[in-house]
A and B are shown apart, each in its own frame.
Chain A
Amino acid sequence: MKNGLKRLALAFALSTLAAGGAAAQSHLRIGLAEDPDVLDPTLARTYVGRIVFASICDKLFDIDEKLNIVPQLALGHETSADGKEVTIKLRPGVKFHDGEAFTAEAAKYSLERHLTMKGSFRKPELGSVDKVEIVDPTTIKLVLKEPFSPLLAQLTDRAGMMVSPKAAEAAGDKFGLKPVCAGPFKFVERVQQDRIVVEKFADYWNKDQVFIDKVTFLPIVDGTVRLANLRSGGLDMIERVLATDIKTVRDNPKLKLTKAVSLGYMGLTMNLANGPKANNPLGKDARVRRAFELSIDRDALNQVVFNGEFVPGNQWVNPTNSYYQQAFPVPKRDVAKAKALLKEAGVTGPIALDFMVPNGPETRAVAEVVQSMAAEAGFDLKIRVTEFATSLKQGEDGDFQVYLIGWSGRSDPDGNSFVFQTCGAPQNNGKYCDKEVDAAHAEARAKSDPAVRKKAYETVARKFLADGQIIYLYHPQVLVALSDKVDGYRQMPDGLVRVVGVKLK
């Protein structure tokens, strides 16, 4: 009896403590998988940072579920016949969080800041822009050095985010400590690695669609703990649910799961010509790389590691994307043919390969499955688990033969392919170089007609996939879990969390 009383007292004490942390109404708490970097659209470069930006910084354009480009701070655009001038009509009556008006001048300022600021990561994205002109108070014109069709897609992301010129001038490179934009929520405070708090912006141009008063982003790195917080009611929404936790979420009547095939991919990059490690049959002979690909069963990989939830793929865009080349479907596993190809290439005995794998439970599991499948065809993959940051450097230096590396994905196919596939491009770790592929990419960049671009990418696919420089494996699912109190949430394929339109019951 005495013990029972004690326990009761303890329970009471603890629950009183817990009540102290209870949330206010209409307060949405979102669990992030990482701590975002600096919150300055010009200097930011992490994926997780984009999730926070989606609440505070509106862009000229946005994407919809089908990846169509839709207006946000812009009302529309017009591209000149020669493709070298893009005129953008801006939404009138928009205000920044500091009360300043969003005008053509402010838009010009924001774009020029992206283009000229020291250390700006937007420079390459807007590299085709020669200058920005003001046509009238609500119209700007981008004058391009050469036609560049992926430009509008760039303006649906950080390069299209508009900042208050007054606040940006005052803060300089410290703008990210207190960003002032024109999004649905304004920045309140940030405690590094703990939380980012934003509150509803009363003068938002689309304020009738904002039903949440306050949003808190909490970075919780451990996937299990993130889910535990959602289950205990400490969070209302979490991003990047582990594929292995999908069942737990589905079995819980108080939780909902939203899915969308991600814009990104996971693939195996082969070292073709980057340093001495390229000197082996895999680096030198496309038939050996083809044999490697034929040894992999992408469906089985998906079943084993991701419970069949992800999407097997063989191209830089997923099979549901309008730029996916149906003529080159995901190849089926064929070990006999793989062995025959190796024989034809004159390879005898197993080929030992240095297989660099960035550390992580999912990447390690994928690597082990690939290793055992490839072994059956005659490849002896030596898995080398490497800390992520180190692997980036070693990838650049050519210190690998096979590198398991993914890409978070962009809405335009150019963003998923150009920097990996063209001669001398920054992320072309295997140093692949083919003039025909380069020419097709240039064509896809210059033309804005989707049919013409798709045709150009067909040339890329025919050559690049046959050369086997990157063996694309799968496209992850964007998995966001929500409490059943959250209503009206729609998941976009870019994985970002858009709070406009969301309600809390």
Chain B
Amino acid sequence: MLAFLTQRLLQVIPTLILVSMLIFGLQQLLPGDPALIMAGEERDPAVLEEIRQQYRLNEPIPVQYFYWVKGVLSGNLGESMRLKSSVASLVAEKLPVTLQLAAMAIVIALGIGIPAGIVSAVKKDTAWDYGANIFALWGISTPNFWLGILMIFLFSVTLAWLPASGYVRLGEDWRASLATTIMPAFVLGNAIAAILMRHTRSAMLQAMGADYVRTARAKGLVERRVVLKHALRNAMTPVITLGALEFGTLLSGAVLTEQIFTIPGFGKLIVDAVFNRDYAVVQGVVLVTASTYIALNLLADVAYVLVNPRLRG
């Protein structure tokens, strides 16, 4: 086990180096001059030159990369050119927001997707099945921004039940916080629910035809128990994996949904940073998300090994 862990940890190092080089290299391909964008309408050549020097934009890319890595290794993710605040503080500010939104969205997705999948598998070729499929098709094909705007018009403008946009921290006022995040969480969760429903349905159909289900029925178990205990348990593995993957994607921020509902999460942070060529912020956020992904992956590997002794080798 120790050897396995050491080996996996050693693999993480080159991965991180490669990721950091990719992040740094790719954004240099973006057209546009960060100093010029930062200056906006105030384009004085002398001031532009000062900014280029201040942020080392005139140095060769490998030198810039060296300074960045040096900073990161000493715990300094850099400073936002546009906002003058540290990237670490920006990340710390946005991470709880994104976590909250992602968690709510995944709860909604699981809450809708799995029951719908079970029902449509158990009641195959009935109105229930068709209904669930239509829902899934709708969920997958409705663009987030469209659903978002429609919900705003219904729940905020017409019914005045929910605030149209904005965000309140959980710790500040939990009710207001839920009110501001329920719509974006539903928009995000709805799309994932549709995917989960399709996967649950096919996994359940497969399980329902398996020998052990037939055995369970032959034992005289009630159908409810057969479905929920025997079939569902076995069908859940791929669905949970998919759910975890979707959760990982949610953590990197939901650009359009955050934009529509003005949720100050990772998605909005990174999009604004890209448009403003605020390199330090783009680098910092992508590095943090990539590291989280790698760490989660590592944890998953360790968990598999713990569960399945055959993998220990």
Contacts and interface: CB of A to CB of B under 8 A. Distances in A.
Interface string B174-212: 111011101000000000000000000000000000000
Given A21-B179, A192-B90, A229-B165, A387 B45 contact: no
Given A38-B83, A177-B85, A45 B32 contact: no
B42 A192 contact: no
Interface residues of B, number: 60
A120 B166 CA distance: 32
Contact of A20 (B83, B173, B269): B173
A111 B214 CA distance: 86
A390 B268 CA distance: 20
A177 B42 contact: no
Interface in A276-335: none
A407 B40 CA distance: 11
B81 to A, nearest CB: 9
Nearest to A396: B36
SS class, residues of chain B in contact with chain A: helix
B50 interface: yes
Contacts of A389: 31-32, 36-37, 275-277
Interface in B28-55: 31-33, 36-47, 50-51, 54
A408 B40 CA distance: 11
Interface stretch (B56-64, B107-115, B124-132, B155-163): B155-163
A482 to B, nearest CB: 17
Interface stretch (B68-76, B233-241, B256-264): B256-264
Nearest to B44: A124
B56 to A, nearest CB: 13
B162 A124 contact: no
B39 A45 contact: yes
A219 B261 CA distance: 11
B264 A193 contact: yes
A225 B256 CA distance: 13
B176 A20 contact: yes
A392 B44 contact: no
A225 B182 contact: no
Contacts of A427: 43
A222 interface: yes
Given A224-B149, A389-B275, A232 B32 contact: no
A285 B33 CA distance: 31
A11 interface: yes
Given A17-B179, A20-B179, A195 B166 contact: yes
B111 to A, nearest CB: 15
A38 B83 CA distance: 5
A43 B54 CA distance: 13
Contact of B82 (A37, A387, A393, A408): A37
A348 interface: no
Contacts of A19: 175
A18 B46 contact: no
Contact of B160 (A38, A233, A387, A390): A233
Band of interface residues on A: 35 or more
Contacts of B261: 225
A118 B36 contact: no
A416 B138 CA distance: 51
B167 interface: yes
Interface string A120-131: 110110000000
A411 to B, nearest CB: 14
Interface in B250-301: 259-262, 264, 268-269, 272, 275-277
B84 to A, nearest CB: 5
B153 interface: yes
B260 to A, nearest CB: 6
Interface in A173-220: 173-174, 176-177, 191-195, 218-220
A241 to B, nearest CB: 15
B232 interface: no
B165 A407 contact: no
Contact of A192 (B32, B41, B83): B83
A225 B262 contact: yes
Given A14-B155, A17-B179, A228-B153, A35 B272 contact: yes
Q: Which 10 A-B pairs have the closest CB atoms?
A: A20-B175, A194-B264, A17-B179, A20-B176, A21-B176, A124-B44, A232-B156, A389-B32, A14-B161, A121-B42
Given A390-B32, A419-B43, 15 more contacts: A11-B161, A17-B161, A19-B175, A20-B176, A20-B179, A121-B44, A124-B46, A124-B47, A193-B268, A220-B165, A225-B262, A228-B153, A232-B163, A389-B31, A394-B31
20 contacts: A15-B161, A16-B175, A17-B161, A17-B162, A17-B176, A18-B163, A21-B168, A21-B173, A37-B82, A45-B38, A119-B50, A218-B262, A221-B262, A229-B163, A234-B165, A387-B32, A390-B31, A392-B36, A408-B41, A419-B43
